[in-house]
Amino acid sequence: MVEAIPQKPAFVAESLLGATIDGRYRLTAHIASGGMGAVFRAEHVYMRKDVAVKVLRPDLSAAAEIVERFRREAEIAASLEHDNIVRVTDFGRSPDGYLFLVMELLEGESLFDRTRRLGPLPAEEVMPILVQVCAGLEAAHRRGVVHRDLKPENIFLHRQPGGGTVVKILDFGIAKITDPTSASSTHPGMVVGTPEYLSPEQAMGSAIDARADIYAVGLIAWRVLAGRHPFHADDPRALLMMQATQPVPPLTDPRPDLASWPVLVAAVARACAKAAGERHPSAADLGRELAASMGGEVRSAPSLRLVTGSPSPLPAESLTPTLAPSARQSASMLLARARVALRGGLPAAWRALRRAPGRLQAAFYRPGERRALLAAVAALVVLAVAAGALALGRHRPATRAEALLAAGDATGARPLLEDAVARRPDDARLRTLLGQALHQMPDRTAAALDAYEAAASLDASALGPAVPDLVADLARERRLADRAARLLIRAGPPAALPAVLEAAQRGPGFARLRALSVARDLGGEDRIDREATYVALLADPDCEVRKAASLRLGEIGAVAALPKLRELSRARVVTSGFLGIKSSSPACGAAEAHTAVRRIEASVPRPASP
């Protein structure tokens, strides 16, 4: 008789709802499940902050390779500070054996889900998404990190509370660190990644660099614009062979209407080149070329209209009707740079002309094409001159509003700024100024944060002047303080960290605790004497502050804090009960202090026995 081997019960994500991971993260909702585990919405029970927690399936926790991939995702993502890369804040193994990874909480959907829901997406929607992807990749590539598994499922469209969408790149679990001394380098011949978006060099198991990610961006663009993948195969091996050998068809095959976007079609074709040397040399270069393909439309030079939004490529067919086919695409590339001229004025126009492709310059000397080319150049210059005229008055409302705010007249500045924002909704500076005006007015903090969030969605660097307001908001009710904390993190360390560190050492205990949490997310908590700062919070009258300070001292292994922690762990509260009988119980925070003491003592090496 053969005895049946008992099977481990299947991992059911919903069974963890309500559980508290590592004593800190209470799982409140199930977001999604995958092959390796599940992602939950969670609340940090002491910081009162909503986060996302990825939990590895228990049956995988013993697999060294998978655990290492999980750990690498945390390590790499935590080292990449960029608005377009998901922020990872914690990683560990809970006492009951669950490996977990803590990330910023995102609201929205993946690019894969949006394409599956809506089908082929319009170019006007896809290009801003891919430009942000390129920005995030460029930040990773500068740190020597190649993603290697970029796909629509790993591109998340995060919907911000104040409106707008920010793209977040997810899952750096199989990223490659392009450092020859790194132990993470993949062995030659090993194929990693998702076959549908592997570069040819990945498919063949060859050495790779950042251009493998550029190929993936090109295929993603093709996929979401066409509504299908360019290759179809019945099994992964056949698909890998197609990736390695077959050219990607022109994007105009499934989408003939994209012929009016020649710069976009050319950019995708170049990104999808089989030879890495024929692709864009960097993600930044690809992003710039994609950005040049966005905007409105100008149909002809005689009817040229000044558009205050983002202009589109000027169609070569309308402005250069007599150009030869060999020069028409280059003309389109030149005319696409009109959107740059609109922002930079005549100097930008001159730089665009100097970068004109050589074959277009040669066309100027062919009499049959000179008139058409002059018309195209004239259109570009007209746009630049108009942009210069706009630039003269662009900052007048901002200057007047700044003067009113400096005089304390927020009531006078507000209508001026609201009118300016209505006319120029993509001006991040105006939205920041509007937030400052609202912040000076009674009971308008939430509206001020709305304005700051809208500014950050356009340009996070514009939040610099808002930092004092946001730091002050850390002392407000939790809902407002959490929003302020997220904005300070988006503002980045150079702008926000000095003020945050100052706030961490003064003011109410709960505000100092929030400031310390922000400083940690900004990577600057160690710039102050954090042990002394947290020890001071052990005496705070707020029980939740004492608990959080105790646990954090345990996490950082603060040996110098042991006397104070032991004192708090022994503290008791005496109460009088029935008939005056007195009883005592542990003081609030005593249990957390005891846990911290045990954790610190366990981390201190014991002296060797004689």
Residue positions annotated with a catalytic role:
149
Determine whether 119 is exposed, middle or buried from the number of CB atoms within 10 Å of its CB (0-12, 13-18, 19+): exposed
Burial of 507 (0-12, 13-18, 19+ CB in 10 A): middle
Question: Of 305, 303, 301, which is closest to residue 316 (Cα–Cα)?
Answer: 301
**Cα of 322 vs its chain's centroid, Å:** 45
The span from the CA of 494 to the CA of 140, in Å, is 19
CA distance 86 to 78: 9
d(Cα 218, Cα 268) in Å, to the nearest integer?
5
Rounded distance, CA 496 to CA 388, Å?
33
Closest CA to 49 of 105, 88, 94: 105
Query: Angle formed by the axes of helices 410-423 and 428-439, to 10°?
Result: 150
DSSP H helices, 80-164, are 111-118, 123-142
Residue 407 CA to residue 403 CA, distance in Å, equals 6
Tell me how far apart the alpha carbons of residues 313 and 258 are, in angstroms, rounded to a whole number: 12
Task: For residue 183, give every residue at least 6 positions away whose Cβ sits within 8 Å of its Cβ, in sequence order, or none.
Answer: none
Residue 578, token pair as written in the block: 């029935």
Contacts of 318 (CB under 8 A, 6+ apart): 298, 299, 300, 301
Phi, psi of 582 (to 5 degrees): -90, 145
Where on the phi/psi map is residue 408: left (φ > 0), alpha (ψ -120 to 50), or beta? left
Q: Report the candidate in 304, 284, 281 with the shortest Cα–Cα distance to residue 292.
A: 284
* Contact yes or no for 251/277 (Cβ under 8 A): no
Strand, coil or helix: 207 = coil
Q: How many CB atoms lie within 10 A of CB 31?
A: 15
The torsion angle over the Cα atoms of residues 453, 459, 461 and 466, rounded to 10 degrees, is -30
Closest CA to 158 of 191, 195, 132: 132
Q: What are phi and psi of 122, to 5 degrees?
A: -70, 150
Helix (H, G, I), strand (E, B) or coil at 354: helix
